[in-house]
């Protein structure tokens, strides 16, 4: 029995959906690979306990908020900047 027009249209839709699913699966694999890389990169970071006076903590928190950073990122930024300046001497 020959395919009807409706059958052919359904087959085309199915092919498009399967192609789109393959694209989405590939994107998902890429995202998972990137997440794995980021986790590995974060795992290489050293963690420290840092005790600060409350007033300094509040000043850094305000500055971080002004720069749209987390407090942790702000402290890392300040330390990195300080080390770069020290190396220039």
Rounded to whole angstroms, the Cα distance separating 54 from 49 reads 15
Domain boundaries of the chain, sorted by first residue: 1-45, 47-89
26-74 confidence digits (pLDDT tens): 999 999 999 999 888 877 878 899 999 999 999 999 999 999 999 999 9
Query: What is the pLDDT, as a whole number, of residue 25?
Result: 96
Measured between alpha carbons, how far is 29 from 87 in angstroms, rounded to an integer? 41
Q: What is the pTM of this model?
A: 0.51
pLDDT in tens, 14-34: 999 999 999 999 999 999 999
Cβ atoms of 64 and 70 within 8 Å: the answer is yes
- Domain 47-89, CATH 1.10.1220 — does that match? yes
């Amino acid at each position: 029995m020959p395919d009807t027009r409706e059958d052919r249209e359904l087959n085309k839709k199915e092919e498009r959906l399967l192609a789109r699913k393959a694209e989405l699966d590939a994107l998902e694999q890429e995202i998972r690979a990137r997440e794995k890389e980021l986790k590995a990169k974060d795992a290489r970071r050293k963690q420290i306990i840092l005790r600060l006076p409350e007033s300094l903590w509040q000043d850094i928190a305000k500055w971080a908020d002004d720069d749209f950073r987390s407090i942790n990122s702000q402290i890392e930024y300040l330390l990195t900047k300080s080390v770069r300046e020290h190396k220039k001497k």
